[in-house]
């Protein structure tokens, strides 16, 4: 009874501490990042803490500022940098990566494009040693993987290779975490004197934490055993100690929620700590360990990549012992002995090619974004399931699989239609989702000079986040770069049943696209005025063929849940006047304003006729055209107007009423 009473008190203490943690973190999360007074300065001075070499620039970290420049320095140097200080870009599209909050997890609150000069050379012993280690690594052929395994830096690995690791579910092997700690414990186990061994091990691990910039995954693997021992003396169980340990991390920085390394390390560590000694792991331990890690990290994998490789469990059975037992220990030998580096480089090349091959041919299933309530339900039931499996009550696995199926088909249960204007900068891209996802249409792709950037970073992830693995229609209103520049990149990534283009004179971009679609045998149709019927719904194209490219834009009218929606492309006064003269226009509930809110679009007569309730404008921040124009905004005062440059993407849910959601 006394023991139970003590446990009850311990549980109450942990629950109270967790509640206080949530309240404090929520309060801190709501506070502005950094100090706005810093933005008024144009100079940053301080010690260079971190440096990363990108393809076209160098990233320097000084205090809480990330500086983009073109000159490398030595860590520990005191630098003076001149430039404009700004806040990092926050998330502007639903479900996608939030760069600002990710940097906040590293205590970085500002960015600067600047020029830096060295004020004082490094005089620190610790930074000097780190510089020497980096210099030795950079002389090796396999430097990018030595930096990955020894320093926790994956910046020099090609994006396609990193993507393949993610698709195969083995990217966690390249994080600096428990694998490193176990290796160091093994090395120091040969140390003859126990007391000195502990001191040297602690000092070495502290220095190694400094080398890897005190990443949360390494700190967890290193510090939790000490915290757990302290918890035992205070009569806390390991479970309670781990929860308190996690709370301390979040109290230090609540933005760790946006650090995938933290999430993977702490969540997988949680399940490994409490379940690896259970009955289910006594036989075939490697397989069940891989299975546990796969399902423990599944929500993170889904909400990061929006896809799942079911073969990831099998891949881990091969790659975990290969990396932890061979490649990782060899990285230290390749660092110490140049003659090992050539052999190590061959092995890493084989690893890369194997991963690329498996990612290309292994099935990856698109899985929609799981909201926070769904993630909480998943982990709660997963804990319950493991407890039941311990008792050999396997019938609960069926419920677990049904829960996963429910998450997968959730978009198809949505009876509301959705119109999502994506933030693609100075361009257009609009996603139309009919109720129960009966039809999915993407109108325009946006596009920049860096072809494929918008498709890979915005369009494809957004479609996958909605559970869309195949589009019914890709509508390209006209041939300008900012409307169809990423069309080919999108078609390479997502199957499309049919592409619809305008039937006027073709730009060079359209000619290249047509040639590509003929080569790949992608169905397409050139259309101006007319209708397209599909699955009981009608797409009405209202504009007749024109010579001028913007005025030749496809004008699309659709009806969703009895809400008329009018998308004007880049058309202006001329097209609007023709539509008024034809007398076919009726009231609409939702208007995509023509030509990004140009001065010469959306006339007063046009607005009086269609009387839109909601008006959406896609425009880039500080664009050189000054879109949307002030005169146009004045004309739009009769409707609720939303602009992507002021708040990011716009989502309109269509039920019996219209509900507008913004990213920020």
**Residue 127 to residue 230: CA distance in whole angstroms:** 32
Instruction: Inform me whether the pLDDT recorded for 279 exceeds 50.
Output: no
Burial of 419 (C-beta count, 10 Å sphere; 0-12/13-18/19+)? buried
Q: Which residue has the higher pLDDT, 392 or 304?
A: 304
Q: What is the mean pLDDT of residues 13-31?
A: 79
| Secondary-structure percent of the chain, ordered helix, strand, coil, rounded to 5 | 50, 15, 30
Instruction: Inform me whether the pLDDT recorded for 284 exceeds 70.
Output: no
Average pLDDT over all residues of the chain:
88
* pLDDT tens-digit series, residues 376-388: 999 999 988 887 8
Split at pLDDT 50, 70, 90, the class of 280 is very low
Whether 273 and 47 have beta carbons less than 8 Å apart is answered as: no
Numbers of helices and strands, H then E, in the chain: 26, 22
**Residue 309 to residue 364: CA distance in whole angstroms:** 5
Split at pLDDT 50, 70, 90, the class of 116 is very high
Instruction: Inform me whether the pLDDT recorded for 5 exceeds 70.
Output: no
- Lowest-pLDDT range of 1-5, 30-34, 401-405: 1-5
Instruction: Supply the pLDDT for residue 319.
Output: 85
Instruction: Inform me whether the pLDDT recorded for 648 exceeds 70.
Output: yes
Q: What is the mean pLDDT of residues 150-169?
A: 85
Instruction: Supply the pLDDT for residue 281.
Output: 46
Instruction: Supply the pLDDT for residue 1.
Output: 42
Q: What is the mean pLDDT of residues 101-111?
A: 92
Q: Which residue has the higher pLDDT, 455 or 394?
A: 455
Instruction: Inform me whether the pLDDT recorded for 283 exceeds 60.
Output: no
Instruction: Inform me whether the pLDDT recorded for 69 exceeds 70.
Output: yes
Q: What is the mean pLDDT of residues 249-266?
A: 89
**Pick from 543, 501, 551, 546: nearest CA to 522:** 501
Instruction: Inform me whether the pLDDT recorded for 655 exceeds 80.
Output: yes
Helix runs in 297-327, H state only? 298-305, 312-322
Instruction: Supply the pLDDT for residue 276.
Output: 59
Q: Assign a CATH topology to domain 40-123.
A: OB fold (Dihydrolipoamide Acetyltransferase, E2P) (2.40.50)
- Lowest-pLDDT range of 9-23, 225-239, 446-460: 9-23
Q: Does CATH place domain 415-662 in 3.30.2130.10?
A: no
Instruction: Supply the pLDDT for residue 622.
Output: 84
- Lowest-pLDDT range of 3-7, 311-315, 569-573, 619-623: 3-7
Instruction: Inform me whether the pLDDT recorded for 323 exceeds 90.
Output: no
Split at pLDDT 50, 70, 90, the class of 289 is confident
- Per cent of the chain over pLDDT 70 is 96
Instruction: Supply the pLDDT for residue 8.
Output: 59
Instruction: Supply the pLDDT for residue 6.
Output: 45
- Per cent of the chain over pLDDT 90 is 51
Whether 218 and 210 have beta carbons less than 8 Å apart is answered as: no
Q: Which residue is it, tokens 């496809």?
A: 554
Whether 655 and 422 have beta carbons less than 8 Å apart is answered as: no
User: How do strand 110-120 and strand 614-617 relate by DSSP bridges?
Assistant: unpaired
Q: What is the mean pLDDT of residues 256-273?
A: 87
Whether 316 and 294 have beta carbons less than 8 Å apart is answered as: yes
Q: What is the mean pLDDT of residues 432-438?
A: 95
Instruction: Inform me whether the pLDDT recorded for 615 exceeds 70.
Output: yes
- For the question of whether the overall pTM of this predicted structure is more than 0.95, the answer is no
- Lowest-pLDDT range of 68-72, 160-164, 603-607: 160-164
């Amino acid at each position: 009874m006394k023991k139970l009473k003590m446990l009850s008190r311990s549980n109450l203490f942990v629950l109270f501490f967790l509640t206080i943690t949530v309240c404090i973190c929520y309060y801190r999360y709501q506070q502005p990042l950094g100090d706005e007074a810093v933005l008024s300065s144009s100079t940053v001075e301080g010690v260079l803490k971190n440096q990363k070499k990108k393809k076209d620039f160098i990233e320097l970290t000084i205090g809480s500022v990330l500086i983009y420049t073109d000159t490398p320095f030595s860590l520990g140097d005191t630098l003076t940098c001149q430039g404009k200080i700004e806040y990092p870009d926050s998330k502007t599209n639903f479900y996608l990566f939030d760069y600002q909050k990710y940097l906040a997890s590293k205590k970085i609150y500002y960015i600067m494009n600047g020029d830096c000069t060295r004020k004082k050379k490094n005089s620190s012993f610790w930074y000097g040693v780190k510089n020497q280690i980096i210099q030795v690594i950079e002389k090796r052929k396999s430097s990018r993987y030595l930096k990955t395994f020894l320093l926790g830096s994956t910046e020099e690995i090609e994006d396609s290779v990193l993507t393949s690791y993610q698709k195969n579910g083995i990217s966690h092997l390249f994080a600096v975490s428990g694998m490193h700690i176990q290796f160091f414990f093994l090395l120091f186990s040969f140390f003859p004197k126990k007391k000195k061994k502990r001191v040297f091990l602690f000092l070495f691990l502290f220095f190694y934490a400094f080398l890897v910039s005190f990443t949360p995954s390494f700190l967890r693997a290193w510090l939790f055993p000490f915290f757990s021992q302290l918890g035992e003396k205070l009569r806390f169980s390991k479970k309670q100690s781990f929860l308190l340990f996690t709370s301390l991390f979040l109290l230090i920085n609540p933005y760790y929620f946006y650090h995938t390394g933290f999430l993977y390390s702490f969540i997988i560590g949680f399940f490994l700590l409490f379940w690896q000694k259970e009955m289910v792991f006594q036989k075939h331990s490697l397989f069940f360990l891989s299975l546990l890690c796969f399902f423990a990290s599944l929500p993170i994998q889904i909400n990061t990549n929006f896809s799942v490789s079911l073969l990831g469990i099998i891949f881990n059975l091969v790659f975990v012992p290969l990396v932890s037992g061979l490649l990782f220990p060899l990285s230290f030998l390749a660092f110490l002995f140049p003659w090992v580096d050539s052999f190590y480089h061959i092995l890493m090349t084989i690893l890369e090619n194997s991963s690329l091959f498996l990612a290309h041919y292994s099935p990856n299933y698109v899985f929609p974004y799981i909201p926070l309530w769904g993630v909480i339900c998943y982990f709660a039931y997963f804990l319950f399931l493991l407890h039941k499996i311990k008792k050999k009550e396997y019938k609960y696995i069926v419920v677990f699989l049904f829960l996963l199926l429910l998450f997968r088909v959730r978009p198809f249960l949505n009876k509301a239609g959705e119109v999502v204007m994506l933030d693609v900068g100075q361009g257009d891209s609009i996603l139309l989702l009919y109720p129960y996802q009966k039809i999915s249409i993407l109108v325009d792709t946006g596009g920049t000079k860096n072809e494929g950037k918008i498709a890979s970073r915005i369009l494809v992830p957004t479609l996958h986040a909605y559970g869309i693995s195949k589009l019914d229609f890709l509508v390209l209103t006209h041939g300008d770069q900012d409307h169809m520049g990423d069309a080919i990149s999108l078609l390479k990534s997502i199957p499309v049943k049919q592409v619809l283009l305008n039937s006027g004179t073709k730009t060079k971009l359209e000619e290249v696209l047509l040639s590509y679609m003929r080569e790949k045998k992608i169905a397409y149709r050139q259309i101006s005025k007319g209708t397209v019927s599909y699955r009981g719904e009608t797409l009405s194209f209202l504009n007749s063929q024109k010579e001028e490219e913007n005025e030749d834009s496809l004008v699309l009218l659709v009806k969703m849940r009895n809400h008329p929606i009018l998308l004007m492309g880049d058309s202006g006064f001329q097209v609007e006047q023709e539509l008024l003269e034809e007398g076919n226009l009726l009231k609409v509930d939702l208007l995509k304003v023509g030509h990004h809110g140009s001065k010469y679009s959306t006339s007063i007569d046009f607005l009086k006729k269609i009387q839109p309730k909601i008006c959406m404008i896609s425009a880039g921040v500080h664009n050189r055209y000054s879109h949307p124009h002030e005169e146009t905004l004045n004309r739009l005062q009769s409707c609720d107007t939303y602009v992507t440059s002021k708040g990011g993407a716009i989502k309109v849910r269509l039920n019996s009423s219209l509900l507008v959601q913004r990213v920020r």
